Amino acid sequence: MSLTAPAAGARKPRTQITLSVVRALRLSPHLVRVVLGGAGFDEFVSNDKTDKYVKMLFTDVDGHQVTRTYTVREVNEVDKTISIDFVVHGDEGLAGPWAAAAKPGDMAIVSGPGGGYAPDPTADWHLFAGDESALPAIASALDALPSTARGVAFIETYTEADAIELRAPEGVEVRWLLRRDAHAGKTTLLADAVADHDWAEGRVQVFAHGERGAMKQLRDVFKERGVTRTQLSLSGYWAFGRTEDRFQAEKREPVGVIEPISD
Ligand SMILES: Cc1cc2nc3c(=O)[nH]c(=O)nc-3n(C[C@H](O)[C@H](O)[C@H](O)COP(=O)(O)OP(=O)(O)OC[C@H]3O[C@@H](n4cnc5c(N)ncnc54)[C@H](O)[C@@H]3O)c2cc1C
């Protein structure tokens, strides 16, 4: 369960960049920011997507190299660092526990970034919905919105202590949905809140990401509301009871498919 250099002959993701932990800071009980830098930063070619993400390389308990996907919350060209906000979700998994224990000097190997979404300045309003795994991407999108933007962001998390401060334009309301003792990935909080919301007039742009089951519920709400495919960025970021390896593999099985919405 460690983060290691690629084994000789292992299948390499596109471009691997070796970085090291500069510092790690707790943003909330369930969120740790890890700031990565080092000589490898110069190989990191950023893009203009607010949901830009990297694949991080880990070695699992069986010695297999696996990847975990993380949003790049911030690229700091002056300090030559990238920041990633990790959900710490207990002892299970590779990336969460790695981030919880991260200390200066630890190595991190990433590839990317990919990405697919940026706020559309011509949208009449914006709707964001996600759990804390999508919080970094939602926070980056809120940062990038023009000051005149209007909309609402629904973010599901554990308790008030996890509701971190976000910069958002005055016309964009941030609503925290607290699951408290319920298990992450086992609530209907996001779909209920979006369905009950008083939708504004005009063309909405939607960014919805998080636990797969919750995203399936949201997909049905968006369909009912007449949101079209081009207005929608929606995907599962993880799935309850699945490692990321299984979650990614299941995208080729019926359980892993979030039925697309037509135009
Ligand atoms: C494009 C993209 C961007 C993402 N960005 C981020 C990000 O910025 N920050 C972030 O924290 N995550 C992000 N994720 C989600 C992250 O990749 C998964 O949560 C991943 O499974 C974590 O790996 P792990 O090794 O900690 O746990 P795994 O080994 O994959 O899973 C172990 C167990 O933990 C559970 N688990 C996994 N994630 C969570 C969670 N968030 N809450 C509760 N239980 C969980 C699994 O269901 C499984 O039972 C992103 C995913 C995608 C696809």
Residue with tokens 């002892």, as numbered in its chain: 91
Output DSSP code: residue 195. H
Instruction: Supply the DSSP symbol for 260.
Output: P
Q: How many domains does one find in the chain?
A: 2
Position 6 scores a pLDDT of: 46
Distance 236 CA to ligand 1 centre (A): 10
Dist. CA 194–CA 223, nearest whole Å? 12
Is residue 144 within 8 Å of residue 82, measured between CB atoms?
no
State the pLDDT at residue 14. 65
DSSP-based three-state secondary structure for 5: coil
The alpha carbon of 108 and the centre of ligand 1 are apart by a number of angstroms equal to: 17
Ligand 1 atom 17 nearest Cα: 69
Taking only the tens place, the pLDDT of each residue in 189-233 is 999 999 999 999 999 999 999 999 999 999 999 999 999 999 999
Q: How many CA atoms lie within 13 A of 40 on its CB side?
A: 17
Q: Does residue 2 surpass a pLDDT of 50?
A: no
**Beta strands at 204-211 and 125-131: parallel, antiparallel or unpaired:** parallel
Q: Where are the alpha helices (DSSP H) in the chain?
A: 95-100, 135-144, 189-196, 212-224, 244-249
144 and 72 part of one domain: no
101 and 143 within one domain = no
Torsion sign, CA atoms 230, 135, 195, 191: positive
Q: Could you say which of 58, 88, 114 is where a domain stops? A: 114
Domain of 206 in residue numbering reads as 125-256
Does residue 4 lie in a domain region? no
Residue 98 Cβ inside 6 Å of ligand 1? The answer reads no
pLDDT (tens digit per residue) in 133-151: 999 999 999 999 999 999 9
Task: Look over the chain and give the mean of its residue pLDDT values, rounded to a whole number.
Answer: 94
Is 68 a pocket residue for ligand 1 (Cβ < 6 Å)?
Answer: yes
CB distance 95 to ligand 1 below 6 Å: yes
Same domain membership, residue 170 and residue 136? yes
pLDDT in tens, 60-102: 999 999 999 999 999 999 999 999 999 999 999 999 999 999 9
CATH number at residue 226: 3.40.50.80
Residue 120 lies in a domain: no
Tell me phi and psi for residue 43, to 5 degrees: -90, -10
**CA 89 / ligand 1 centre spacing (Å):** 8
Span from the CA of 14 to the centroid of ligand 1 (angstroms): 21
Query: Which residues are registered as beta bridge partners of 110?
Result: 17, 56
Beta bridge partners of 232: 206
